[in-house]
Amino acid sequence: MNHIIKNLPEEQRPYEKCFKQGENTLSDCELLAVILRSGTQGKNSLALAQEILHFMEDSAYCGLTGLIHVSLQDLMRIHGIGQVKAVQLKCIGELSRRIARTAARPQLVMNDPSSIAAYYMEQLRHEEQELVLCMMSDVKGHFLGDKVLTRGTVTGSLVTPREIYLEALRYHAVSLILIHNHPSGDPTPSQEDMEITARIYQAGELLGIHLLDHIVIGDQRYCSFRETGLWDECTG
């Protein structure tokens, strides 16, 4: 593993393997090695990539998704990772999130909770604090945009109907959907979630701006109030 890359057999060199066999044939380690481009003294890029993956496992992160969670400072604790390589790795993590969101955009439908959950999943499921945001639509149900309203603690977040409907008015929205994440990974709504949903719904009805749903994002799971009996319980 510590041999200079150019001295390795051609089929073991990540660049050549990618060019001849395709990027999907590369292991996680080989993909990281291509991004890193070079290693450090006594350690080639493959060995350095392997060390990064071991660091993720030792830090309780899950493989490559650790690039989203780990800090720049933590990455720079790895021998051979300076500021430039740490920034490159963090940007790869962020790029993966944006690619996932962009890919989900064409399937986004305001009355389809699963498409909304897919759109926000990569943005929210890795967050270590609660984020509350609203997405807004016009009279024809076209997506107008979204706004992060608040970032809370790991145990909860506070948001008021006033904040939400001020944003809706700025967008000239006639309806909106409330979305937030549970850092625990379990999207089961709490009693607090239900109470704030009822308050926001009632305030919107007075203003003529309708709350259509409240979607809680977990780790690869979601809960839509509309798809469960919770909606009737909160708005009935």
φ/ψ (deg, to 5) at 131: -115, 135
CA distances 36 to 23, 30, 204, Å, are 15, 10, 50
Please say which residue of 100, 122, 141 terminates a domain. 100
Q: What percent of the chain clears pLDDT 90, i.e. is strictly above it?
A: 53
Per the listing, tokens 């044939």 go with 25
Please say which residue of 100, 118, 148 terminates a domain. 100
At residue 39, the pLDDT reads 83
At residue 86, the pLDDT reads 93
At residue 42, the pLDDT reads 77
Whether residues 118 and 92 fall in one domain: no
176, β-bridge pairs: 136, 211
The answer to whether the pTM exceeds 0.85 is: no
φ/ψ (deg, to 5) at 115: -70, -35
At residue 137, the pLDDT reads 94
Q: What is the CATH number of the domain that holds 204?
A: 3.40.140.10
Q: How many domains does one find in the chain?
A: 2
Cα–Cα–Cα angle for 41, 58, 95, rounded to 5 degrees? 75
Whether residues 133 and 227 fall in one domain: yes
Whether residues 96 and 11 fall in one domain: yes
At residue 13, the pLDDT reads 83
Whether residues 122 and 74 fall in one domain: no
227 has a pLDDT exceeding 60:
yes
Whether residues 11 and 95 fall in one domain: yes
Whether residues 88 and 159 fall in one domain: no
pLDDT in tens, 155-201: 667 788 998 999 999 999 999 999 999 999 999 999 999 999 999 99
CB 119 within 8 A of CB 94: no
Whether residues 120 and 161 fall in one domain: yes
Whether residues 156 and 227 fall in one domain: yes
At residue 155, the pLDDT reads 64
Per the listing, tokens 């909106």 go with 176
Please say which residue of 46, 66, 100 terminates a domain. 100
Name the residue range of residue 142's domain. Answer: 108-235
pLDDT in tens, 19-54: 889 999 999 999 998 888 888 877 888 889 999 998
Count Cα neighbours of 103 within 13 Å in the Cβ-side half-sphere: 10
